[in-house]
Structure 1
Amino acid sequence: MAIASFGVACRNHLTVHRPPPPFPLIYCLRKVGKTPFASVATLVEPDNNCVNEEDGLVKGKEGVIKGINWKKLSAKELGITTDKISKPTRLVLNALKKKGYEVYLVGGCVRDLILNRTPKDFDILTSAELRDVVRTFSQCEIVGKRFPICHVHVSHIIIEVSSFSTSRRKSRNSSNSFSRRPPGCDEHDYHRWMNCLGRDFTINGFMLDPYAKLVYDYMGGMEDIRKAKVRTVIPADDSFREDCARILRGVRIAARLGFRFSKETAFSIKDLSCSILRLDKGRLLMEMNYMLAYGSAEASLRLLWKVGLLEILLPIQVWSPVSIAAYFVSQRFRRRDERSNMLLSLFSSLDKLLAPNRPCHGSLW
């Protein structure tokens, strides 16, 4: 199967692939708004207001957390040990720490360590300015214009290093109304919290201090891990309009972990699904490769179909005039038995050979 071109289609589960209308993006947004959410009962959890007596969180509308009780958790009690951090990552952490900078592991790698999974990669956050990071390592360059980070090359592996100063500039430029400084927090907590506020999902909002052996949870990520839920940090509509690539990342995370979307996140994905067409083809190919090449291809395809994204991403015709998405449906995509569908069976077999630290090459597609 080649994912070489991306057409435009937004009707869910049609058996006939029709040519796109003259204004595809406007058409898609209009059609999605009128389409009921497919299989929502299998994807979402109820989002009623609740009080968690254990952590003191009062949650109402998604993305709004009242009465925040920030958590500092023991990395040791969570089963996170130094040997689970890759050697190249430890070399970068140690080099920055020796120069007196604060260093943290952030994002999905901390989530995976908490879940006792092997992270795909490790991202580092530091108090050093990016130019100081460049001075620290012989093979390092700054990449990105809007939100620059450093790529540190260690043993043919790239370690991404971001700076608190960059995240502070990002928060000043953001229209996020939740960035007011909470009362009673010190400067260190405030800077960590502001960085986590810019994350996509609560379960990616962790920070790990590998030297103090503490995990900071400012966004309620542990609660959502316990509930096996994917929830945006800020209201889902705002989050996906800010960065539509988060829609595809959310699907990838939910498929890989076997988590469900919270109610608001699921409906926002459905409503804004066609916004992913704003991404360039290279980015779409990269996101599809992440879904297919790291051991969760079958689950990703099923979830893409359920949220109405499959025909947008894969309108490729396997035989005229039937698209791949229509083929899945015609071959009993609804059934859990992957053997009823040859293509899903192939992906299921491939998944058994792959892992986040053992992906296949993207040229396979």
Structure 2
Amino acid sequence: MLSLNHVIDKIKQVTTARKQRDGAGTPPRIVSRAEHNISRKVISPSALKVLYTLKDAGYDAYLVGGCVRDILLGYEPKDFDIATNALPEQVHQLFRRSRMIGRRFKLVHVRFGRNEIIEVATFRAPPEAENQQDGRIMQDNVYGTLEQDAWRRDFTINALYYNIADFTIVDYTGGIADLQQGLIRLIGEQRVRYREDPVRMLRALRFKAKLGLALESVTEKHITELAALLKDIPPARLFDETLKLYLSGQAVQTHQLLCQYGIFEALFPQTAACLQTEGHEEARRLLMGALENTDRRLQQGKPVTPAFLFAAILWAPLRQRWLQLSQKMSDMPAIQRAAGDILAEQIQLVAIPKRFSLVTRDIWTLQPRLARRQGKRAFALLLHPKFRAGYDFLALRAEAGEPLQALTEWWTNFQQASATEQAEMVKNLPDAAPAKRKSRRRRRRRPAAKKPE
């Protein structure tokens, strides 16, 4: 027998799916300026300039999405997105410093200064059948009305529109009510919407961790079941989404949610396979330590490099492969080959650009080098451009329980010592173990050719 809540959820699901399909429904809820806390004082001056330029040119212009949601919840938005009935070409003509981007759906980026970009999107209509493949939307340049655009968005809390014309909020999907109840609700029929764009599963978990909201039961239901759909998403897009997941200030909580719903296994199968087996306790602690450190640095306003994050996430399979190869070759060639193997497999799912993967490799290959300090090696390593990252990773390994405390302490003291003290520290080191030399096979000489008689 179905529960009342289940019946209510099913009714809402069917209703929103029908509204999403035909763009018709009940009139929106209009929240007057006196009823909400959004003020132009908390909106980026650049976003206001874009809104007023569109309005003065005779177009509708709305702030939409995460910036509206965050302000209503009391957070400071990082980005400001705008929705309009102006076509991309018309928006582009209004702003000198703008460019059109996107294949799947055309957008206009309006640039201010060096770093600020305001994204402007034209209202979308429901996708046409010929632009879909296996449920996924492949092309989406079908423009529509404000109402159609609202029902096309992913979550109700992201479908709220701030109207610059009269400072009201337009709510077609019940986003205000869901914010008040602390719910993340997917718009439309969940399986269909997740298949249209599987990245919505990542966004749902990111919002849960970031905003402290709960997943509505039907929205939550299909995430674990459909996690494998992420393999069809372009690896470059998953790289961008991974950075949002882990570099938003809630890396620890987000990671726990990714593991709970089977998403981490879909993104990082090599690591997931290692961490699910015995003998990887240090690697588990290292990863959590790295994520805690990431959150702490972001809270302190310090920079975080994705290279260090990926070095920690992929350390378990890297270390396993390194130990396997070390049975056949010396440490340095073994770790170099292991790094190549692990990264080559990982980028098939989550593309890691070379500017980060090369640093990740440096962090890994510095680990065996930091154990060899005799002669001039310690002084040379101090000058390595990625020494600090390699040393921090060594310290993280020691904190996680690997037997590296003495080595980490030595390097900590070496960096703080005077030149004379450094020379003495190196002098007091035990002699390095002789390197293994591969036995060379003797080449047989060919018998000399007989001279013709």
Query: Considering the TM-score relative to the shorter chain, is it more than 0.5?
Result: yes
Q: Distance in 2 between matches of 1:277 and 1:97?
A: 42
Equivalent residue number for residue 438 of structure 2: none
Equivalent residue number for residue 292 of structure 2: 348
Question: Given the alignment of the two structures, is residue 83 of structure 1 paired with residue 37 of structure 2, yes or no?
Answer: no
After TM superposition, list the pairs within 5 Å mapping 1:180-259 onto structure 2: 191-259=145-213
Once the two structures are superposed, what CA deviation does each residue of 1:229-269 show, in whole Å capped at 9, x if it has no partner? 21110011010111111111111111111222122221211
| Aligned pair partner of 1:299 in 253, 262, 268 | 253
Question: Given the alignment of the two structures, is residue 161 of structure 1 paired with residue 116 of structure 2, yes or no?
Answer: no
Q: Distance in 2 between matches of 1:75 and 1:328?
A: 59
Equivalent residue number for residue 72 of structure 1: 30
Give runs of ≥4 in structure 1 deviating > 6 Å. 171-175
Q: Relative to structure 2, which stretch is displaced further, 122-131 or 231-240?
A: 122-131
| Aligned pair partner of 2:11 in 53, 57, 60 | 60
Q: Distance in 2 between matches of 1:78 and 1:126?
A: 22
Does structure 1 retain, via aligned residues, the 8 Å contact 2:294–2:304? Answer: no
The 1:324/1:363 distance shift into structure 2, 3 A limit, reads: same
Q: Distance in 2 between matches of 1:195 and 1:358?
A: 38
After TM superposition, list the pairs within 5 Å mapping 1:26-65 onto structure 2: 47-50=5-8, 60-62=11-13, 64-65=15-16
Does structure 1 retain, via aligned residues, the 8 Å contact 2:182–2:213? Answer: yes
Q: Distance in 2 between matches of 1:235 and 1:328?
A: 42
The 1:150/1:106 distance shift into structure 2, 3 A limit, reads: same
Which amino acid is 1:344 matched to?
M
Question: Structure 1 stretches of 5 or more lacking a match?
Answer: 1-45, 51-57, 176-189, 334-340
The structure that has the greater radius of gyration is: 2
Once the two structures are superposed, what CA deviation does each residue of 1:44-67 show, in whole Å capped at 9, x if it has no partner? xx94345xxxxxxx9724262498
Q: Distance in 1 between matches of 2:279 and 2:151?
A: 38
Q: Distance in 2 between matches of 1:174 and 1:219?
A: 25
Once the two structures are superposed, what CA deviation does each residue of 1:48-103 show, in whole Å capped at 9, x if it has no partner? 345xxxxxxx9724262498463111244321111111122122112222222211
SS at match of 2:79: coil
SS at match of 1:147: coil
Does structure 2 retain, via aligned residues, the 8 Å contact 1:47–1:263? Answer: no
Report the structure, 1 or 2, having the larger strand content. Answer: 1
Once the two structures are superposed, what CA deviation does each residue of 1:15-39 show, in whole Å capped at 9, x if it has no partner? xxxxxxxxxxxxxxxxxxxxxxxxx
Report the structure, 1 or 2, having the larger helix content. Answer: 2
Question: Structure 2 stretches of 5 or more lacking a match?
Answer: 20-24, 133-143, 310-453
Which amino acid is 1:323 matched to?
C
How many residues get paired? 286
Provide TM-score, normalisation by structure 1.
0.70
The 1:101/1:70 distance shift into structure 2, 3 A limit, reads: closer
SS at match of 2:245: helix
Equivalent residue number for residue 389 of structure 2: none
Provide TM-score, normalisation by structure 2.
0.57
Q: Distance in 2 between matches of 1:311 and 1:110?
A: 33
- Structure of greater relative contact order (alpha carbons < 8 Å, 6+ residues apart): 1
The 1:202/1:327 distance shift into structure 2, 3 A limit, reads: farther
Q: Distance in 1 between matches of 2:216 and 2:164?
A: 31
Q: Distance in 2 between matches of 1:280 and 1:63?
A: 31
Does structure 2 retain, via aligned residues, the 8 Å contact 1:124–1:161? Answer: yes
Q: CA RMSD in A?
A: 3.1
After TM superposition, list the pairs within 5 Å mapping 1:66-145 onto structure 2: 68=26, 70-145=28-103
Does structure 2 retain, via aligned residues, the 8 Å contact 1:63–1:232? Answer: no
